[in-house]
Amino acid sequence: MKKELIRLDHVSKSYDGQMILDDLSLVIHENEFVTLLGPSGCGKTTTLRIIGGFEKPDTGKVIFDGEDITDLAPNKRQLNTVFQKYALFTHMDVGENIAFGLKIKNKPQSYIDDKIRYALKLVNLEGFEHRMPESLSGGQQQRIAIARAIVNEPKVLLLDEPLGALDLKMRQDMQYELIRLKNELGITFIYVTHDQEEALTMSDHIIVMNQGYIQQEGSPEDIYNEPENAFVADFIGDSNLMKATFVRDGLVRILDTDFPCVDKGFGDMKPVDVVIRPEDVELVSRGQGQMPGVVSHVIFKGVHYELEVQAGGFEWLVHTTKFFEVGTEVDIRVDPFNIQVMNRPASEDEEAISPEDEPPVLQE
């Protein structure tokens, strides 16, 4: 059983009368890599800033290792923050940047020198202590910002979209570096991003947010394979998201076609949402599947082809390693285990399918 490290109890925050966080509660455990994921304006950065002490909640408490730290100043908390803008001191060399927090704490110089060497080794920048920040690449500057944070031995490292300014290759390299650092240091990482790939790649635990609420939390596998509502299904990964009717246990009607499924307990003839991932849509010869369609668009993605298939009045997104020419007549087939049935949203912030998005009803 992992130890609880941080708890937010019924936290609310508004700016100029606009509610940013509404009665938010969450728990973060020790040594987890937790990602707060969601679109711009969902409240994820505000949540991070409240944990860090840079913002004070209007209501609610921040509990850290069993103690109420709601009113504690940021520099008194056992955590450090790495921002998207590296915030390195341009008039200091790399070593001086890393040592800054330790000098404020009046640590002896021998201790500081050892910590600088240790931190630079951790971020694979040994020998860079006398370089100036402007002589470094963006990825190297971000590593120095991380090194500066970890030398203070925080229990928690807060990262606010730290890879957003990097190019794709560098961002991917840094993702693996952060995973390695987390495992080597054994501290808790709380990471904010709107990038679903980053969240799925790095996290032990993902908290999906929208409109100041938590939509779903769980492991990357749970979030991807078992989305709880249309918003999560649409936000995490590519998906075919459709309104449907749950006919009875084990059968759902999608685009006027009955598909066997494994879901139960939604009732009889009840309106639901369904999500089918593009890699779970199988294209077979006519007469061998559940719904006829025509390939309308093909893009080569390197490891797979991305296809659009018109079927049942809906534009299906399909990922396959097989090549199909535009115009090919196919059937769509979906394994019952790959159809995820969800309750219709109870509120607008869970909604991802508008009435305008619904496929037209085809007349015979």
340 and 326, same domain (yes or no): no
346 and 329, same domain (yes or no): no
318 in any annotated domain: yes
Q: Give me the number of domains the chain comprises.
A: 3
pLDDT band at 354 (very low <50, low <70, confident <90, very high): very low
Question: Dmax over Cα atoms in the chain, in whole Å?
Answer: 83
287 and 170, same domain (yes or no): no
Instruction: Provide the residue range defining the domain that includes 82.
Output: 4-223
Q: How far is CA 308 from CA 256, 328, 335, in A?
A: 20, 11, 19
231 in any annotated domain: no
Global pTM reads 0.83
DSSP secondary-structure letter at 3?
A: P
327 and 344, same domain (yes or no): no
195 in any annotated domain: yes
184 and 268, same domain (yes or no): no
257 and 299, same domain (yes or no): no
260 and 304, same domain (yes or no): no
Render pLDDT for 2-58 as a digit per residue (tens, 0 to 9).
899 999 999 999 998 899 999 999 999 999 999 999 998 899 999 999 999 999 999
Render pLDDT for 237-291 as a digit per residue (tens, 0 to 9).
889 999 999 999 999 999 999 999 999 999 999 999 999 999 999 999 999 999 9
Strands 213-218 and 205-210: antiparallel
259 in any annotated domain: yes
175 in any annotated domain: yes
230 in any annotated domain: no
Backbone angles phi, psi at 256, to 5 degrees: 65, 15
